[in-house]
């Protein structure tokens, strides 16, 4: 058995054991797809993580505080912060201009932003459809 084949086999075995140990269920990553996540999480933050006072709306101040806290946490962890300057402004997300973000506004904004990325979801670097397992 070649060295690469052995490494692949060990990696595959470790991944399989991890899935069995997790009961075969997917484990939500903090901050992804609405999963609970604090300011140090990666990916889209959960609405509830940004709504610090729990009133069901995100104010401009809550949004700014969350963003600053998240940037500081990522910097402290040594994570690359590519495109941090291209992040949308609060006003870009606040579709009705009432000074608050509802869960629907945030969801609509995120959906529109993903759709604007070219609709290549599920495609690899070469344009080929990726396998769905």
Residue 120 lies in a domain: no
Residue 18 lies in a domain: yes
- 123 forms beta bridges with 129
Lowest-confidence region among 20-34, 55-69, 76-90, 102-116: 20-34
pLDDT score at 2: 53
Number of domains in the chain: 2
Residues 59, 84: Cα–Cα separation, whole Å: 20
Across 1-18, average pLDDT: 49
Across 41-62, average pLDDT: 91
Instruction: Tell me the pLDDT of the chain averaged across its residues.
Output: 73
**Cβ 122 vs Cβ 132: under 8 Å:** yes
- CATH code, domain with 73: 1.10.238.10
Two structure tokens written together for 66: 């969350």
Q: Provide the pLDDT confidence category of residue 114 given band limits of 50, 70 and 90.
A: confident
C-alpha 69: how far from chain center? 16
Residues 104, 90: Cα–Cα separation, whole Å: 15
Residue 84 has pLDDT above 90, yes or no: no
pLDDT score at 21: 44
The pLDDT tens digits of the residues spanning 66-75 come to 999 999 998 9
pLDDT score at 59: 97
Q: What is the residue range of 15's domain?
A: 1-26
More confident residue, 82 or 17: 82
Q: How many Å is the Cα radius of gyration of the chain? A: 19
CA 26 → CA 7, 19, 37, 115, distances in Å? 24, 8, 16, 25
Domain match, 43 and 20 both? no
Domain match, 45 and 15 both? no
Residues 64, 52: Cα–Cα separation, whole Å: 11
Domain match, 57 and 8 both? no
**Cβ 125 vs Cβ 66: under 8 Å:** no
């Amino acid at each position: 058995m070649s060295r690469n084949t052995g490494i692949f086999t060990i990696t595959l075995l470790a991944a399989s054991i991890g899935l069995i140990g997790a009961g075969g269920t997917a484990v939500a990553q903090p901050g992804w797809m609405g999963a609970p996540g604090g300011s140090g999480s990666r990916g889209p933050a959960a609405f509830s993580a940004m709504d610090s006072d729990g009133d069901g709306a995100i104010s401009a101040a809550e949004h700014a505080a969350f963003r600053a806290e998240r940037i500081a946490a990522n910097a402290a962890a040594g994570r690359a912060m590519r495109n941090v300057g291209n992040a949308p402004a609060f006003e870009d997300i606040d579709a009705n201009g009432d000074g608050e973000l509802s869960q629907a506004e945030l969801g609509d904004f995120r959906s529109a932003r993903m759709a604007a990325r070219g609709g290549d979801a599920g495609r690899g670097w070469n344009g080929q459809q990726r396998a769905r397992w």
